[in-house]
Amino acid sequence: MAEAIVVRSGIVVPADALSMHAVRAGGPGGQNVNKVSSKVELRVELGRIEGLDEAARARLRAACGRALDADGYLLVTSQRTRDQRLNLQDAREKVRALVALALERPRPRRKTRPTRASVERRLAEKKHRGRKKSGRRGEE
């Protein structure tokens, strides 16, 4: 079918972990849209991606979301162009970008506390707002 997708050195989606299926695309194309299978569905077996540690693999599964099926395959589609070859390149680029995104470790959140001045400003504003509203209450 196609060659392996190299995300970066050491991280490779092997060619035998990919399967491509062409289907008819929707959208513009005139009569041609009913005859030519230009939309590409690329299935990727996530378990076969080489070089991912378990944390990156978990981030990848989370990033895939609903595109992941019960068998552990990622389904990526592309119908951006009317050319099947270009759609296959686009789908391969989507897979590469998704794996690259999963490789980035999220920065840990550091707990912060509001400053004393910001707390005092917030409380002063609340008191001001309360006085303004209580002033609106008229005699009934």
Question: What range does the domain containing 37 cover?
Answer: 5-103
List pLDDT tens digits, range 53-64.
899 999 998 988
Count the domains in the chain.
1
Residue 45 predicted with pLDDT over 70:
yes
List pLDDT tens digits, range 98-129.
999 999 999 999 999 999 999 999 999 999 99
Q: Is residue 54 situated within a structural domain?
A: yes
Give the mean pLDDT of the chain: 88
Q: Is residue 109 situated within a structural domain?
A: no
Residue 29 predicted with pLDDT over 90:
no
Least confident of 12-16, 33-37, 125-129: 33-37
Q: Which value, to the nearest 10 degrees, does the dihedral of the CA atoms of residues 87, 92, 97, 102 take?
A: 140
Token pair for 102: 């999963």
Q: Is residue 64 situated within a structural domain?
A: yes
What is the predicted pLDDT for the residue at 1? 52
